[in-house]
Structure 1
Amino acid sequence: MKAFRNFARSLIFEPNVVWHLKAEATVRPISRHMLSYSKIPFNKEVSLDALNRLPNVSIVSISLKRSDAYRVLIDLIIKITNPSIFSQLYFSLQYNNCSIGYVESTSHNITIHPGENVIQFFGELQSLSSESYNALSTVIQNFLTGQTSNIEALAGPNTTSYPLLAVGIIGLSLNVHMPPFKEQLIASLIFNSMSLIPSTNKKKVMLSASITIKINSPLGPKSPLNIQKMNMSVFLLYENDSVGILNVSQAPVKQLDAITYQSQFNTKYLSLTDTGAYEKFTRNFISANKTHPIDFRIVGVASIVGSFALGPLNIDQLLIENNVPLVGLDSLNNVHVDEISVDRAQGAAL
């Protein structure tokens, strides 16, 4: 049994295995009238292609949309190039040597044929300590901001349900690149209202706004992101010209439903980058109405503070790139005078 375990381990970890076959053969002709030969020595070395630590493992797709309010669940499809039979597979997941969860194959009878094989896994991302939570937070940060995470899938004693292979596969480490979320987390920003107040500084304008935020949640509808505050640093572009830079810090966020949030900020400085573009924007903003709204673009980054199924959430460098329609002042047609009051000294002429 020990010899077979060593053979199985070499078959998994080495690029090739030399199998030494030694025996004595007996040859019996079909015809009874011919001589038979026995104890013919047979001594051969046979080279077998082995798994070589399964180096060509890649993630085909990843989804967290089956998550719920308390768990982050992962659906994973990987591609393996190598021949073998593993039955059911189970791997623990690590990032920077910290455990972040596990995955197991959805099939209980896996046959990996020569060439490319696609295997479906299901599992859970978990944080069992402060170290693992920090590691998992980095993975989530990378996932949401377009970066790849190098994940280690580590084989343990329960990696395969075949007992003869279980001991040999212990310690196998598969390095796979976890691709980022394919969509922008912040799908759109809708400006419900906006006011611009000139300041004594010709290069700055006071801006106040109420906005609705729509997100593409990677965790699905049953595991909402609880966003509490948002920071934003964006360029305001009008007709491809930069009007100014808007920096918003610690704006409170209120959740309306699973993917919709609302925020309001007051008297934030819009630092003008092109006064000519700003004047053109304000002229058209004054004349814009519901029938003919004004369109501008905002491009930049945001950060959010809140929580999700596994604890606090703090994500930086979220890309924002949105076209924003805005109803303007309708040429001030709705302005009317309710009352005029004049204070004057006695005997003075009006």
Structure 2
Amino acid sequence: MNIKIASRNSALALWQTYHIRDLLEARGHNIEIITMKTKGDVILDTPLAKIGGKGLFTKELENAMLDGRADIAVHSLKDVPTTFPDGLKLACVCSREDINDAMLSMNFKSFDELPNGARVGTTSLRRRMQLLALRPDLEIISLRGNVNSRIAKLRDGEFDAIILAMAGINRLELYKEVNYVSLLNTIAAMGQGALGIEAVDRADILEAIEFLNDEKSVIETTIERAFVHKLNGGCQAPIGVSARLDGDKIFVRAILGTPDGKEILKDERVFNKAKYKEAGEILADEFINKGAKEILARAEEIASQI
């Protein structure tokens, strides 16, 4: 059948879209790719938290599906809000890449080697929170733009290090562009490392792409997204949550706090695989009972001043 894919026009978005195109073409489908810039791609001088969060990267793609110009859109799942417009749904979660955050640097081999007051670039309030909790001396600077422009700023000496998702580094082979890449001991964003396929709620389209679903990734990300949804966190709140399925057990780590790293709430739990649909909400309720909503309200106030 003919399937139209809406995609952002960035290097990583196109890699992801071409990857899904190849899998669909191997099944005999005819694929057309429609590229566009989103509001999040255009407004680069303002932190995401101040202009509406990461949903800014999906709105135009969703409009293309709703008005019939496209059938599906390929997203980094960590950028996808937990609610969808009527007529669209999260149809597939593909097998996951490395879920970790990583530090890229031209001069420093690891996070521990960063000098006092080092300039570190990241857009994410979640990463800012965790880095400052470990190293309050760091100067965390907002870093927007596509991955190539971020790497260029690092190479030009504007930053001592920048933080990116290891999944994107692997997919675009960005380790070839810098001297050092090191994993961070941070808790990732919900859905990090997974591709999410958003689609029109139409039986023929859903049936055609169903094979892209990966059970392990679906289980893990269902927990992560339910945790964030229950907290009304949104994609840009300082919340990290990581679920790992191992046999019949699911190991979940979660963290939230203020962007300055001064207030942190952190916990981990083990759930049975059979309970994965409830696990995210159960953990979120435990966090709420410990004051999570109040901390996130303070986090929002601090974020508005960054």
TM-score category by the smaller chain?
A: under 0.3
Identify the structure with bigger relative contact order (alpha carbons < 8 Å, sequence gap 6+): 2
Which structure carries more helix by proportion?
2
State the TM-score, normalizing by the size of structure 1: 0.21
Which structure carries more strand by proportion?
1
The structure number with the bigger radius of gyration is 1
